[in-house]
A and B are shown apart, each in its own frame.
Chain A
Amino acid sequence: MNRWTTILLIALFLAGLFGAARLNEPLREARREYGISQADPLVNAPPLVVFSTVALGGFRGIIADILWVRSARLQEEGRYFELVQLADWITKLEPRFTSVWAYHAWNLSYNISVLLKRPEERWRWVRSGISLLRDEGLRYNPGNARLFYELGWLFQHKLGGNSDTAADFYRRQWAAEMAELWDGPTPDFDTLIKAPQNTHALLAQPDVAALIAQLQSANRDPYSPARIAEARVAAPDDPLRSPAGQQLIAFLRLRALRDTYKLDPAVMRELDSRYGPLDWRLPQAHAIYWAHQSQLVATHEFDQISADRMIFQSLGDAFRQGSLYTDPKRGIFIQSPNPALAPRVLAAYDDTLKRFAGTESILEAKAHFMREAIIVYYTFNQLDAARNLFQQLRTQFPALAPEPDFETFVREEFLARQQSIPPDTALAIINGALVQSAFWKVNGDPARAEGYDHLAQLTWTAYHERLKTQPPPPPPPPPLPSLDTLRQQAAKEVAP
């Protein structure tokens, strides 16, 4: 090989290298765009994760595989607690392996929690499933549609649903946590958004700085979340009640909201104005929040539809159960329908239908929701709204609303079903409705009280309607011939 050939080859090599290097950045860009990138460096990972991902190199994949295989065996043997540790290690080894995060969180919130008897113990595990996704999984996989969705699912289904006998307890606990961050159902978004973003901004206000100094000298940590609860019960002359104190409390609340719960008040406000008013103490609002996050980053149609579905399903749940009256001191925690949300739910369906035109299952879901909403209006005695919605149903889904008029619809859809309710269930519904009615009467919501009373009436009437239509009981069986007669018959048969 002569010198010129060598030079030519080196030049070719360098040109190729340069070309490959030029291609690299667009490729990475494209990978990021399509969400298939695992090449982005981990940011702010704890030392253990850095160690395992760097020092173990390619071996971590093998170790993760071995642990993953073992976890299958543990699952089979029902050793869920050990599984927690394995999943923890796997996520440390392969923090970008989203399925493990999802599986891990599911295992904590579903499999393990139900093994325990006491609701507090169960809640601890459900909560650790939420915290795993929110605080760790999403930290290593920021903007991962799947993990946002899984997080939303825990709120929608585990907390919001009733698959778990302790679900009511979870909802109470969650509402109690949220009550620390705002008063009433909806956060004071403006105060939270305007609250000082960090201690630096907080201390820039002279009166707040003075208050903080005062608290510190009294050996009360001004930044402890305990101040929030104190402020609520503090005497009116307590410094925490002063404007400076309120600034501090707003700051503490914002910090907890943002750092602990990973919620952005601006996004919450936007969602509340689009879908609300939502009760943010209830899990449905949080399911919507995380589904919205998933929606923003989802690139695949499947993920997009899933997120949309979670939004309108959760909104539907909020419509059914999204109004909360709670008084922790008296142990009261009552969820009831929020009929005002129906138009929002329908709008959410329409929004999805606009983007995924003609998706059969969503059309059916919308029709189904409308039928349900009509009945809720009807039971709550909002007959105009009910009739109105029925007209919409007829025009939009003629095929799915075969009933010729509103009265027929109510009879078929509600009364017929009411009539098939067994006696004890009917009694339980009537009792429950009357208790609610009495409760709302006392607590200053006469419309709701009336609605529940109406439901009790309807159920009672339906039950008695059925009694009328029931076939008459069968006549008692005829008496038998006397024993003597029978004996004689028998004797004849043997010896005629």
Chain B
Amino acid sequence: MRRILAIANIAIHSAVRSRMVVCLIALLAIAVIGLPLTIKGDGTIEGQLRITITYSLGAAFALLALASLWAGALSIAREIEDKQIQLLATKPVRRAEIWIGKWLGLMIVNTALLLAVAIATGLLLPREKLAAQTKEGAAAWNAVHRSIAPLNEDRADEARTQLAQRRAAGQIPENVDDSTALRAIQQELIVRAATVAPGQQRTWQIQLPRVLQPDETIRLRFRYSTSAMGLDAVRGRWIIGTPAQPVIWQASSENTPEIYQSIAVPAKALANERDLTVTFVNEDPAGTTLVFNPQDGLRLLIPAGTFLANYTRAIVLLLLRLGFLTALGVTAGAIFSSPVALFVALALMFISYTADYATLDYDTPQSRITTLITAPSRLIQMALSPLGTPPALEAVASGLQVETAWLLRIAGIQFLLYGGALAALGTRMLNRRELAMPAI
């Protein structure tokens, strides 16, 4: 441990002395102090707070991510090129200790900078202005909600029944195989379930993770599109109840389509319930048909702690993510020489950022050749899929809880599993590597 700390200390020294940290601090200061000055917002203080958090912290994090990768990739690679490692490696130090020491040193710098950024951003938020403006505004800002998705409706059985019926009726062409037809039917069912024609209604089942307290206020958050041109508000009625008692609370609403809307619901009558049903009745006089977004058309928001706790969660999540990126950099530096290491690390980071977009869904018939071609990309996709970044800052900014599942994913998969694998790989490569290779 003493050896790891000594190496970490050197890594910190080296980062600070290389003026990298100074540069970074200057850039972070611009992000945290300068950027909010350029925010015009939408004229509301809530909007300004939201944008400050998303973009100030977002920019600061992006800078830190790049810097971690940079410093990580250079830390070992530079030391090999400057031959300082030739002295270090002749001491009774395990190569793993070198890797961990470098990583730890950079993470100490990262943590210090991220905390400074987080605290500075937190202090610079014009919260008192908000409090001065309206009491409800401040309370709304401080309230954090956990977003509960409706239960997944299993449409597999229905889809299979439909498939059998349509096959029997000869509605499906012969050359379409069952799996393709089934998928198309399932999609059709999803769309149909999301559509609410005039005078019709749609019901969602929601299971709460905890019972509600009578004095709490929950919110319904929804977003729909309409069949009408323009963005005219649509009239409807929201009903919340339980399977046993379908109407406990109801309210009529008139909301603009295309944007997220939310309605406050006092939890008084819903207390002590876990299973809820939410129903929307389309009462639009203009006869507009609505389509709820299948992904996030409806959410029930229940109170979940304070802003500060949520903010802390987001910062922890970002720190864990930095831990992964630093590991990526250090390992790249342990394998390659400095420019190559930097390039590889940056490339991997960009790939990991696009992980959210990496979806492969080939509708090609399975043959040996397509399998051969798609297998590697499927593997890459499988490896990349846990590397996406959950929108933690956006969640904090919009008062939604940074989900525990996100934290677990980042901590468990990105930090421990991928970070550990990178540490093992880096150590192994350092062990195998001859550190005094002459240039030939």
Contact = CB atoms under 8 A, between A and B. Distances in A.
A88 B38 CA distance: 9
Main secondary structure of the interface of A (DSSP, over half): helix
B37 to A, nearest CB: 8
B236 to A, nearest CB: 16
A85 B259 contact: no
Nearest to A80: B259
A115 B231 contact: yes
A441 interface: no
A92 interface: yes
A92 to B, nearest CB: 7
A296 B38 CA distance: 34
A82 B51 contact: yes
Interface residues of B, number: 19
A79 B259 contact: yes
Interface in B12-64: 38-43, 47, 50-51, 54-55
Nearest to A89: B38
Interface in A112-171: 112, 114-115, 117, 124
A78 interface: yes
A101 to B, nearest CB: 15
A85 B51 contact: yes
B40 A78 contact: no
Contact of A48 (B38, B43, B54): B38
Given A92-B38, A114-B230, A81 B47 contact: yes
Main secondary structure of the interface of B (DSSP, over half): loop
Contact of A88 (B40, B47, B231, B259): B40
Interface in B290-329: none
Contacts of B230: 114
A183 to B, nearest CB: 33
B256 interface: yes
Interface in A48-85: 48, 77-82, 84-85
B258 A85 contact: no
Nearest to A128: B43
Contacts of B256: 114-115
B39 A78 contact: no
A115 B260 CA distance: 11
B223 interface: yes
Interface string A400-411: 000000000000
A124 B259 CA distance: 20
A322 to B, nearest CB: 27
A81 B38 contact: no
Given A85-B40, A89-B38, A78 B51 contact: no
A84 B260 CA distance: 17
Interface string A167-206: 0000000000000000000000000000000000000000
B40 A84 contact: yes
Given A114-B230, A115-B231, A115-B256, A84 B223 contact: no
Interface in B228-245: 230-231, 233
Contacts of A92: 38
Contacts of A78: 223, 258-260
Contacts of B40: 84-85, 88
Contacts of B55: 85
A88 B47 CA distance: 14
A348 B230 CA distance: 33
A115 B257 CA distance: 9
Nearest to A121: B43
B38 A115 contact: no
Given A78-B223, A114-B231, A85 B260 contact: no
A279 to B, nearest CB: 29
B259 A115 contact: yes
Contacts of A48: 38
A84 B258 CA distance: 17
A209 B39 CA distance: 42
Contacts of A84: 40-42
27 contacts: A77-B260, A78-B223, A78-B258, A78-B260, A79-B259, A79-B260, A80-B259, A81-B41, A81-B42, A81-B47, A82-B47, A82-B51, A84-B40, A84-B41, A85-B39, A85-B40, A85-B42, A85-B55, A89-B38, A92-B38, A114-B230, A114-B231, A115-B231, A115-B256, A115-B259, A117-B233, A124-B43
Rank and list the top 5 A-B pairs by shortest CB-CB distance, nearest first.
A78-B259, A81-B42, A78-B258, A114-B231, A85-B51
Interface of B: 38-43, 47, 50-51, 54-55, 223, 230-231, 233, 256, 258-260
Given A78-B223, A79-B259, A115-B256, 19 more contacts: A48-B38, A77-B259, A78-B258, A81-B41, A81-B42, A81-B47, A82-B47, A82-B51, A82-B54, A84-B40, A84-B42, A85-B41, A85-B51, A85-B55, A89-B38, A111-B231, A114-B231, A115-B231, A117-B233
